[in-house]
Amino acid sequence: MKFSANLGFLWNDRPLPEAIRAAKAAGFDAVECHWPYETPVDEVKAAMRETGLPMVGLNTRRGDVGAGDNGLSAKPGRDVEARAAIDEAIAYATAIGTPNIHVMAGFASGAEARATFAENLAYACTNAAPNGITILIEPLNKYDAPGYFLTTTDQALAIIETVQAPNLKLMFDCYHVQLMEGDITRRIETLLPWIGHFQFASVPDRGAPDHGEINYAHVFEVTRRLGYDAPLGAEYKPSGNTDDTLGWLNNAAASLPRASVRPVRSGVEAGRQRRTAT
């Protein structure tokens, strides 16, 4: 089982290259981020090269955040900006070798928004495909993002069906799915062929995955049993210092089959052990 540190939340008090180094020291297998665009590509590449960690995902820009934007691609009349954000994301992802781009829908509703989203996703998929990039769409929960266009996995699957692009997949964020739909195990089993990436956090407080209403030891085991072997994305809001919230990572390593166990303790020292053990 492999884990990716989402640097939008973990170590987000540090510049992105430093956060990549912190994730390596803590024992993560990969990193992902939200919006890396203010960091020069060369600085990110240097940290990735130094640590050996791949950046497995990034998001399109949200638009004018001050004016309330949270993505653009489902917003009628904003296609030019939406496609510029998609182009920018593809260029950045290509430069650093990132395989997944989450195209953010934004606050919108109705048939016109749906058609707009499908058209912009088709554009994204067509332009991302030559670079081997998968486009992800992510349902967000109605409490954190009221009014967001995409809220359920059923809705996401229907859009994937409409767009009919092989490189369009679902971002299955267990935190959002639990808040909107529940039935996590069955949904993972059913939706696996359409899932491009997993994310997770405790519910309902979006903390480390070691408390709350989801038993993540079980969820991780479900993905492992189904043969999913890409890194699972830790996208939670640490309660304080990120390094002090990583007990779950060490426990996950400890519960792996014997041949894969990476003996660890905690925090940075634990990470060093995970890195060196085989």
Ligand X SMILES: O=C(O)C(=O)[C@H](O)CO
| Residues of the shown chain interacting with ligand X in the complex, contacts defined by CB under 6 A | 34, 59, 102, 138, 140, 173, 176, 199, 235
CB-nearest residue to Mg ion: 173
The interface partner of residue 4, options being Mg ion, ligand X, none and the CB cut-off 5 to 8 Å by kind, is none
- 6 near 235, Cβ under 8 Å? yes
63 three-state secondary structure: coil
The DSSP call for residue 148 is B
Cβ atoms within 10 Å, residue 87: 14
Count other C-beta atoms under 10 Å from residue 99's C-beta.
Answer: 18
CB distance 56 to 98 below 8 Å: yes
DSSP string, 9-26: TTTTTS-HHHHHHHHHHH
Told to check if 4 binds Mg ion by CB under 5 A, we report no
Contact 270, 250 (CB under 8 A): yes
Query: How does DSSP classify residue 113?
Result: H
Q: Looking only at residues 155 through 174 of this chain, which bind Mg ion when binding is defined by CB under 5 A?
A: 173
32 is a site residue for Mg ion (CB under 5 A):
no
Q: How far is the CB of 156 from Mg ion (least distance, A)?
A: 13
Nearer to ligand X, 143 or 164 (CB): 143
Choose among ligand X, Mg ion, none what residue 34 binds, the Cβ cut-off being 5 to 8 Å by kind. Answer: ligand X
Catalytic annotation present for 189: no
Length of the chain: 278
| Choice between 13 and 144, CB closer to ligand X | 144
CB of 265 to ligand X, least distance (A): 30
Q: Which of 138, 181, 189, 269 is catalytic?
A: 138
Question: Residue 111 carries which side chain, given as an amino acid letter?
Answer: A
Tell me whether residue 18 is one of the annotated catalytic residues: no
Rg (CA), the chain: 18
59 scored as a contact of Mg ion (CB under 5 A) = no
- Of 102 and 262, the one with the shorter C-beta distance to Mg ion is 102
Q: Which is nearer to ligand X, 4 or 199 (CB)?
A: 199
Binding site for Mg ion (CB under 5 A): 173, 199, 235
* Catalytically active residues, by annotation: 138, 235
